[in-house]
Structure 1
């Protein structure tokens, strides 16, 4: 009988580790890429939940009850501005350095087309805060001289404000609006 020699392959450390008991594939949860994507999705969801919560908690209440009447008043203001261009000249003098919590003098001038001062029945200053309707206020303007009116104003908060000066002269109502920027202290 002849003996045949069968040569067995040599075991290398790499092949031993692949065929051993620890050769189970890695779980997807152990991959840093999967963990990274899950963390990213969790952060995005957390930020969205935070933003929605803040939107509900800090609602400025910009929806007004009388939106139709306000829209009509705006349309009327646009028409009166076109009418006043032919009949009256309105101007408002607003200081450039308005600061929240500090008083400032706003002046308003009204003259007819010949340049003569006009004495309307009433002049009122309205201040609207676009981001918070609870801060809106109005003041009657005091006559300094014929056609020249003033109001001492103190804006409670910094930021953008819309001012509207309303002039009532008999049945006619004229309006002049300006956007104001109030600085923080």
Structure 2
């Protein structure tokens, strides 16, 4: 019986399948990293905070404020339709206490932020709808895409706020 003898020369690195496999893995990782860096640069939201250090120092007070809001037990119910560019929509706000009873506040404000362009940031003051704890505002955003919203109500020295992000649809 004849033995099969392996006559391949594995001493040349570029002919060794293990070396080729590791080289392929390295190239795949590098290509993925270049793609991710390119996407990070081209999709930069541009959100800049002027005083990031000062804001970071206030982190403990922010946490304390959140705990105070939880103790108050207020509920803000925002009815916001799907927004379309250039189309005004009615936004309603219902404010309830811990026992689900509506109550009035001194002011209710909607702050809107465009992460990629601070020149589009603004605020809108809600108007009373006549009933206790009900407020209305007509709201329109000029550009499609992601927007961050914060609704803040003030009663005396107490502040309560909620936030969320929305996507504004194109007009077509």
- Specify the TM-score bucket, using the shorter chain as the normaliser: 0.5 to 0.7
Number of residue-to-residue matches in the alignment:
133
Secondary structure of the corresponding residue to residue 123 of structure 1? strand
TM-score (norm 2): 0.65
Whole-angstrom distance in 1 between the partners of 2:76 and 2:46: 32
Secondary structure of the corresponding residue to residue 131 of structure 1? coil
How much does 1:117 deviate? 1.1
Secondary structure of the corresponding residue to residue 119 of structure 1? coil
Cα gap change, 1:78/1:142 in structure 2, threshold over 3 Å: closer, same or farther? Answer: farther
Whole-angstrom distance in 1 between the partners of 2:59 and 2:92: 23
How much does 1:64 deviate? 3.2
| 8 Å Cα contact 2:46/2:115 also seen in 1 | no
Structure 2: runs of 5 or more not aligned: 1-37
| Residues 57-136 of structure 1 mapped to structure 2, 5 A cutoff | 62-68=47-53, 79-87=64-72, 88-95=74-81, 97-136=82-121
**Would you say 1:148 and 2:139 are equivalent positions?**
no
Whole-angstrom distance in 2 between the partners of 1:89 and 1:73: 25
Deviations 1:125-159 (A, max 9, x none): 10111111111010110111211111111100000
Cα gap change, 1:175/1:106 in structure 2, threshold over 3 Å: closer, same or farther? Answer: same
Q: Provide the alpha-carbon RMSD of the alignment.
A: 3.0
TM-score (norm 1): 0.60
Whole-angstrom distance in 1 between the partners of 2:57 and 2:93: 25
Whole-angstrom distance in 1 between the partners of 2:157 and 2:164: 23
| 8 Å Cα contact 1:92/1:107 also seen in 2 | yes
Structure 1: runs of 5 or more not aligned: 1-50
Whole-angstrom distance in 2 between the partners of 1:148 and 1:69: 36
Secondary structure of the corresponding residue to residue 164 of structure 1? strand
Name 2:13's counterpart in structure 1. Answer: none
